Amino acid sequence: MKFTAKKEIEKGLGYWTVVVEGQKWKDAVKKGKNKVASSVEIPGFRKGKAPKEKLEKYITPVKYLNAALQSIIDSAWKFALEQDSEIKPFNSPVPTPKKINEDYCEIDFIFDLKPEINIKDYKGIKDDSLKKEEVKVTKDEIEKAINQYREKFAMEKDKDVDSKVAKGDVVTFDFEGFIDGVAFPGGKGLDFKLDIGSGKMVPGFEDQMIGKKLGESTIKVTFPKDYTPELSEKEAEFKLNIKSIKEKILPNKDDELAKDLNIPDINTFKDLESYVKNQIKEQKDTQFKTVFVNKVIELISKNSVIEIPKTVIDKEVDNLYKEFEAKVQGQKLTMKDYKKKTGLTDKSIREELRNDAIKRLESYLITDKVRNTEKFDVSEDEISSKYEKLAKSFGVEVDYIKNNLLPTDHIKEEIIKEKIIDFLFQNNG
């Protein structure tokens, strides 16, 4: 096989061209003919069992040369990768046959060129926005997390018929909302179950339910500005029919609760408090570090020259659009309905996503540059430690995660990403 590479800077495209000829291509053509022959169906004969003279008019060059091409593409791509070309692909290539006949096959692997990036510095960056503070965990945060564990074993007890709704109660009720006396879509619910104080409803809704008794009543709320466009900042009246009021009984904060949770190495309530505190601190540390590093990347970007081809940006906008569409569908809306409600168009949505696409690409290119310059290594001990931590977190065996959820390559990649974030955090600010 032979290899050549070229690029078209004005189009932002690169080409890896592989020529397959000689015995290797002859073998591929033979293989292609056999494959086509075995799949041809001729009336009066079983598949692949027709006489040679009958088969010949069905085995056309287009069919068997295409089959030969498909059989050779993987090895041609592997050969191209081994050539260590200075022209690097930024994404998965599209294999395109350029010239193909009985004796010769030429394949173009077409890809977006890796954007040009010239970083001045990625270490020692100072800025007023880059301040490192010690992350602290409050008693209220620990209390809230432990109460979430207690919720798993909560029991509900009917309150007396004359009782009033209180914060923490579980209420089952019917409701219907009206704006200017007219019921609005999505404003009705039957046998709706609500934890008072959970914050699931529109602001003010749950607060006004406190003090209500069984039976019919009304409350008034004003929808927030950032609510759906058709309800934003509008006042609504909700008619309620409260059917049951239950007191929620949570288990005591004691060693029994800690044991019932079946968390490895957690046997006492004191152990549980320490475990929860460490979990919260780890989450807050990660969050703080991520925000800090995102600021570092923004500053690096401002002081760097990053040239991203339009074709690459357009593809990233497509990716973000698909992600956005999935979020809209998660709200049980079609894009058509969403655009109708918001007055937005495909064009305006994509324009809004364009800046996000550029930021995402710049972030990737900067961290990729750091990765390739610093040459981060991952040891077997680090991989094992990561698996053990995940196994403990999920409450499953290491082998299960390794074989069914996250292969070693994925874990290794995650560790490298963590090392890049740690590096940028430690070396800046």
Mean pLDDT across the chain: 90
DSSP code, position 403: I
Between 1 and 341, residue with greater pLDDT = 1
CB 248 within 8 A of CB 154: yes
pLDDT of 53: 62
Q: What CATH number has the domain bearing residue 396?
A: 1.10.3120
Answer with the one of 249, 281, 311 that is the final residue of a domain. 249
| Residue where the block lists tokens 């152990």 | 271
Asked if the structure places residue 130 within a domain, the reply is no
pLDDT of 54: 60
C-alpha neighbours within 13 Å on the C-beta side of residue 58: 18
How big, in percent rounded to 5, are the helix, strand and coil portions of the chain? 45, 20, 30
CB 188 within 8 A of CB 177: yes
Average pLDDT, integer, range 372-400:
89
pLDDT band (50, 70, 90) for residue 84: confident
CB 240 within 8 A of CB 171: no
pLDDT of 42: 66
pLDDT of 44: 58
pLDDT band (50, 70, 90) for residue 34: confident
Q: Is the pLDDT of residue 265 over 90?
A: no
Asked if the structure places residue 327 within a domain, the reply is yes
Is 380 found in the same domain as 287? yes
**Alpha-carbon Rg for the chain in angstroms:** 31
Q: Is the pLDDT of residue 50 over 80?
A: no
pLDDT of 360: 94
Q: Is the pLDDT of residue 337 over 60?
A: yes
CB 223 within 8 A of CB 186: no
Average pLDDT, integer, range 6-29:
91
Q: What does the alpha-carbon distance between residue 40 and residue 32 come to, in Å, rounded to a whole number?
A: 12
Q: What does the alpha-carbon distance between residue 70 and residue 37 come to, in Å, rounded to a whole number?
A: 16
Please give the sequence-ordered ranges of beta strands (E in DSSP) within 180-301, or none if there are none: 182-195, 215-222, 235-249
Domain that residue 380 falls in: 258-426
Answer with the one of 61, 93, 112 that is the final residue of a domain. 112
CB 177 within 8 A of CB 237: yes
Range from 98-107, 159-168, 332-341, 378-387 carrying the lowest mean pLDDT: 332-341
Asked if the structure places residue 126 within a domain, the reply is no
Q: What CATH number has the domain bearing residue 53?
A: 3.30.70.1050
Is 305 found in the same domain as 159? no
> What is the helix (H) or strand (E) element at residue 67, kind and residue range?
helix 61-81
pLDDT band (50, 70, 90) for residue 38: confident
pLDDT of 47: 61
Structural domain count of the chain: 3
pLDDT of 334: 87
Average pLDDT, integer, range 329-356:
88
Backbone angles phi, psi at 348, to 5 degrees: -70, -35
DSSP code, position 202: S
Q: Is the pLDDT of residue 343 over 90?
A: no
Q: What does the alpha-carbon distance between residue 397 and residue 400 come to, in Å, rounded to a whole number?
A: 5
Is 262 found in the same domain as 245? no
CB 100 within 8 A of CB 106: yes
Q: Is the pLDDT of residue 45 over 70?
A: no
CB 236 within 8 A of CB 245: no
* Positive or negative: CA dihedral 397, 402, 406, 410: positive
The first and second tokens of residue 253, run together, are 């904060």
Asked if the structure places residue 146 within a domain, the reply is no
> What is the helix (H) or strand (E) element at residue 70, kind and residue range?
helix 61-81
Output the pTM of the full model.
Answer: 0.71
Asked if the structure places residue 262 within a domain, the reply is yes
Answer with the one of 200, 222, 249 that is the final residue of a domain. 249
Q: What does the alpha-carbon distance between residue 91 and residue 93 come to, in Å, rounded to a whole number?
A: 6
Average pLDDT, integer, range 160-184:
95
* Positive or negative: CA dihedral 51, 53, 58, 61: positive
pLDDT band (50, 70, 90) for residue 16: very high
Q: What does the alpha-carbon distance between residue 57 and residue 59 come to, in Å, rounded to a whole number?
A: 6
Average pLDDT, integer, range 169-176:
96
